[in-house]
Structure 1
Amino acid sequence: MKSVPIFRLSALAVIFLLAVSGSLLKAKDKPLSIAATTTMVADLAESVAGEYATVTGLMGPGVDPHLYKATASDINTLQSADLILYNGLHLEGRLADILVKMGRRGKLVYAVTESIPEDKLLEPEEFQGHYDPHVWFDPRLWALCVDTVVAALSKADPIHDSEFEKRGESVRATYLSYYKWGQKYMAQVKPKERFLITSHDAYNYFGRAFDFTVIGVQGISTQSEAGLADIVKIGKFIKQKGIKAIFVESSVSPAAIRRISEDSGAKIGGELFSDAMGSKGHMGKAADGSSFDLGTYEGMVKGNITTIAEALK
């Protein structure tokens, strides 16, 4: 049997080790692939993950998650993702069933609202035994969702868990600053004028956070439609309270609000973001001179607060 020179074996071993270590380094440095449902969840994931992940959102600006149906492309995105993040609390409707099934099959699937204590969730009577899923309208609650995202990222990519913890702390502090900003800005609106009338019942957490009486014409889900009796009743309420303005929503038909505006005399104070953020790069500006990207969670929160305050003050 012909022997192989030792120096040749050493060279081959070095080449092999370099190839293996190179492959491992590439795998280690490859960003996580994250699939997120709503624009708010996608923005939260991007904020915490930073350069360690690429986030693909299934629902774009103006999309209503209550009525959303997954496409074949969405299913491919979900199946190929390293991690799936969604809101939970029945916001995503039928899509949630698909996500739960994927989780049972071993896919890393997390509802970001899992880290919110139940005693902080609202369960209005009209929600028929379900919690209100629109928690992002209170930045203090959305800050709690950071914990779930940090845990999910650390499970998917334990090498960078300390980085996720650091970024998570920063994101939490930033979200809480939005709440403080909102409190200060809303001080312009007198308590007796703090009525928020919108297309559907999405702003209960906002109302609790900023001391508003909230009335949604259609209820929690956009699947229901406002009846004539509801429209007449709300119109009378507006006249009795002398409410100046009511609001349409970016992801809900404005028909009912327009009818109420015509009947009651209240102006339409502007368009609010409800179940989706705005378009990236579309800038908004507050009366205090601050500006914000309406395609971000910051822009969603500050844009809504600015629109409401300027119309009612």
Structure 2
Amino acid sequence: MTKKIVILVVITMTFFSCKKEEKKVNQKLNVVTTTTMITDLVKNIGGDLITVEGLMGSGVDPHLYKASEGDVTKLVNADVIFYNGLHLEGKLVEVFEKMGSQNIKTIAVGEVLDKNTLIGSDYFASNYDPHIWFNVDNWKQVASFTMKKLKELDPKNANAFETNGKAYLDKLNLLENKLKTTIETLPENKRILVTAHDAFSYFGKEYRFNVVGLQGLSTATEAGVQDVQKLAAFIIENQVKAIFVETSVPKRTIEALQAAVRSKDHEAIIGGTLYSDALGNPGTTEGTYIGMFEYNVNTIVNALK
């Protein structure tokens, strides 16, 4: 995060502080979210009773995202900011710290999860894998937590948030059952998922997949030639038939891996494009958390069968 953006945060906060105090009692709660997954979640629970502005769009990599001047204006005008935490939005951390010092409420939804259930890492700054949404049970806990916080922030609409939240939890339960049914059609010896970066560990742990990413947990760490060669050897040894690109990671990393495998007389097709750190385009099925997860699982299972 550049010093320019941090200074801008302080200046903009001062400018808007008086305006926020003039806010009408009957005005909707103004919520700002970071990732598309959190935006979708908050919209499902808040409905038309709140206004939601998401900072990141489809295909955006939250690991590398930097706040623009326009983002800072959105943040300082927010009543509350919901973000993932666990250092997913690494370059926004300093901005969120400034928000907290100015009494703008920031909520890291990942903090609700029991640390004993999180996947650790020796190579990532937070020591925890931040891709928590790839376990539906995690996301149900996040949904319940978000519902609770919205009720606290806007008590007059608490009953509606409760109704919306419970309805969404029912949908997540249905999703969980549907995913398990689809995955059970794939023999366990074929459950090897090779992707551009290590975003699917929670998915692998829950559904018994051996997940291998070319890059680490954060896309800020680039894969080198040795990483490509090592993974190519793994693919050949395990006779992996398909590897996957991701919408938020440049395709060239997986294409380089495919070329390395092919140079050793083994063919691994690109089985499809998975949504990892961002949802699909708004208005599409993949533009929702539920639609994204179903699409990913169908793509993985069909390619590996």
TM-score by length of 2: 0.87
1:250–1:272 contact (8 Å) kept in structure 2: yes
Query: For the residues of structure 2 that align with 1:43 and 1:91, how far apart are their CA atoms?
Result: 17
- For the pair 1:93 / 2:90, whether they are aligned, the reply is yes
| Aligned-pair CA distance for 1:155 | 2.6
Per-residue CA distance 1:80-139 (angstroms, 9 max, x = gap) = 111111010000012122113212321121111122111111103333661100000111
Which residue of 184, 189, 193 maps to 1:192? Answer: 189
2:87–2:125 contact (8 Å) kept in structure 1: no
* Residue aligned with 2:287, SS: coil
Partner of 1:67: 64
- For the pair 1:294 / 2:286, whether they are aligned, the reply is yes
| Aligned-pair CA distance for 1:147 | 2.6
* Residue aligned with 1:294, SS: helix
Query: For the residues of structure 2 that align with 1:145 and 1:96, how far apart are their CA atoms?
Result: 20
- For the pair 1:245 / 2:237, whether they are aligned, the reply is no
Query: For the residues of structure 2 that align with 1:196 and 1:129, how far apart are their CA atoms?
Result: 24
Q: What residue identity is the alignment partner of 1:294?
A: E
Query: For the residues of structure 2 that align with 1:62 and 1:208, how far apart are their CA atoms?
Result: 25
1:277–1:296 contact (8 Å) kept in structure 2: yes
* Residue aligned with 1:33, SS: strand
Query: For the residues of structure 1 that align with 2:187 and 2:143, how far apart are their CA atoms?
Result: 33
Partner of 1:112: 109
Query: For the residues of structure 1 that align with 2:25 and 2:160, how far apart are their CA atoms?
Result: 14
Which residue of 271, 278, 281 maps to 1:279? Answer: 281
Query: For the residues of structure 1 that align with 2:54 and 2:45, how far apart are their CA atoms?
Result: 15
Any unmatched runs of 5+ in structure 1? 1-25, 283-292
Partner of 2:300: 308
Q: What residue identity is the alignment partner of 1:307?
A: T
4+ residue runs over 4 A deviation? 26-29
| Aligned-pair CA distance for 1:64 | 0.4
Matches within 5 A, 1:1-313: 27-127=24-124, 130-264=127-261, 265-282=267-284, 293-313=285-305
2:45–2:168 contact (8 Å) kept in structure 1: yes
Q: What residue identity is the alignment partner of 1:148?
A: F
Q: What residue identity is the alignment partner of 2:72?
A: I
* Residue aligned with 1:233, SS: helix
Query: For the residues of structure 1 that align with 2:219 and 2:302, how far apart are their CA atoms?
Result: 26
Partner of 2:17: none
1:114–1:148 contact (8 Å) kept in structure 2: no
| Aligned-pair CA distance for 1:65 | 0.5
| Aligned-pair CA distance for 1:148 | 2.4
Partner of 2:15: none
Higher gyration radius (CA): 1
* Residue aligned with 1:85, SS: strand
| Aligned-pair CA distance for 1:28 | 4.9
Any unmatched runs of 5+ in structure 2? 1-22, 262-266
Per-residue CA distance 1:194-228 (angstroms, 9 max, x = gap) = 00010111100010111100001110111111111
Aligned residues: 278
* Residue aligned with 1:198, SS: strand
Q: What residue identity is the alignment partner of 1:58?
A: L
2:86–2:126 contact (8 Å) kept in structure 1: no
1:115–1:147 contact (8 Å) kept in structure 2: no
| Aligned-pair CA distance for 1:256 | 2.0
TM-score by length of 1: 0.85
2:192–2:210 contact (8 Å) kept in structure 1: yes
* Residue aligned with 1:188, SS: coil
